[in-house]
Amino acid sequence: MATTAQSVADLCLAARDAARELASTSSVTRERALEAIADALVARTDEILEANARDMEAGREAGLTGALLDRLLLTAERIAAIAAGARQVAVLPDPVGEIIGGGRLANGLELKKVRVPLGVVAIVYEARPNVTVDAAVLCLKSGNACVLRGSSSAAHSNAVLAGIAAQAAEGAGLPAGSVSLVAGGGREELAELATQEGVVDLIIPRGGEGLKAALKGVATVPVIYAASGNCHVYVDASADLDDAVAIAVNAKTHRPGVCNAAESLLVHSGVAAEFLPRVLEALRAESVELRVDARTRALAGAELGAALVDVTDEDFASEFLSLTIAVGVVDSLEEAIAHINRHGSGHSEAIVTADLDAALAFERGVDAACVYINASTRFTDGGEFGMGAEIGNSTQKLHARGPIGLRELCTIKYVVTGDGHVRT
């Protein structure tokens, strides 16, 4: 496997050479490579866990939060799940060569609109070593070479995982350079990677606003931002309150350090008096810090008074990535939609309602990649959506939105066949 013992430029050039070969590699060969990666992950679990233990120890010494340590942690079960995800991607339909449009033109030409690989995809990510494998298998399956750059907090884990993926892929018949890891450099190295015009075809940052800002200032390569998730759960006036409690607690506490966790809870005033004491108690039982507006505080009940913190506008705009939630009361569905569109990040938003008209209005009115009706935001995930895995969740509108899977790692090519046609 290539690392930054070579320069970033040399790594990217090697990836470009690999990508040109990968584009014509058979689906069978690419599928076999993903199966080989999955087998190697399972076989080398002890080696992966040893590397991850070093990262975890360094993370604890550096004072990482519990939620961030959870994102960093690998277990035998998580490694098995990563391998299972690779196998699931392996057997998905091959997007390369898929005909997605076309037909016979009036002049007799045959036109086909075909999916083809992007080429070289660079992925920059923070503190989530599973992304190393997810990104590699998605890129390889879609005929792309990948250049990976993880964070220093997962350096040992990423090095082992990327090495396993690269070795297994090459052993299964894919070209050398198909999987590369950029490791050991700082922001200068990131800038070099983001300016490899004509070599790197796309860069996908998966991390917080700091990473996004760092790339925006320097990138000359096209970027899809798999950015932050300031997600909301809105409990409508007609909601089933048992469902609403379960959804709100799950969305906040299932894994609070991930981008599809809920950061804000909005409650219609028509059910606030009955619902808020129940849900706040349930959240508090899960050790959630409650940042509430004045109306929520007034309805919360005396028992919870000391546990409540006054919410700020900044809180409503924050991705906490921890057991913290902002809570507010609204007087209408329209007010909830306006609040979400003002403070949300365009990731995932949920409504709990029994009113079909309200559900439709929320679906149409909220500007987000994923909208949920009577379900937790935690389902925004490539694996849950049947994609096998994902590189991240795009919150922008071009060229991909939502989970970035196989088809989102392709572009298109028009293939036009004639019979001696000339234009007059």
CA angle at residue 23 from 204 to 171, to 5 degrees?
A: 90
- Give yes or no for residue 124 having a pLDDT over 80: yes
Phi, psi angle pair for 219, to nearest 5°:
-65, 130
pLDDT band for position 257 (cuts 50, 70, 90): confident
Radius of gyration of the chain (CA): 23
CA angle at residue 268 from 265 to 270, to 5 degrees?
A: 145
- Distance, in Å, from the CA atom of 159 to the CA atom of 120, rounded to the nearest integer, reads 20
Residues 6+ apart with CB under 8 A from 423: none
Q: Is 70 exposed, middle or buried (0-12, 13-18, 19+ CB in 10 A)?
A: middle
Asked whether 273 and 310 are in contact (CB, 8 A), the reply is no
pLDDT at site 6:
80
Pairing of strands 393-394, 402-403: antiparallel
pLDDT band for position 184 (cuts 50, 70, 90): low
pLDDT band for position 315 (cuts 50, 70, 90): very high
Residue whose pair of structure tokens reads 């001696």 in the numeric block = 420
pLDDT at site 305:
81
Residues, the chain, total? 424
Q: Which domains does the chain have, with CATH numbers?
A: 8-226+391-417 (3.40.605.10), 231-379 (3.40.309.10)
pLDDT at site 284:
96
- Give yes or no for residue 4 having a pLDDT over 60: no
Over residues 181-199, the mean pLDDT reads 87
Question: Tens of pLDDT along 358-407?
Answer: 999 999 999 999 999 999 999 999 889 988 888 888 988 888 899 999 99
- Distance, in Å, from the CA atom of 409 to the CA atom of 96, rounded to the nearest integer, reads 10
Over residues 215-230, the mean pLDDT reads 88
pLDDT at site 58:
96
Question: Tens of pLDDT along 207-222?
Answer: 777 888 888 889 999 9
Asked whether 393 and 226 are in contact (CB, 8 A), the reply is yes
Over residues 158-172, the mean pLDDT reads 98
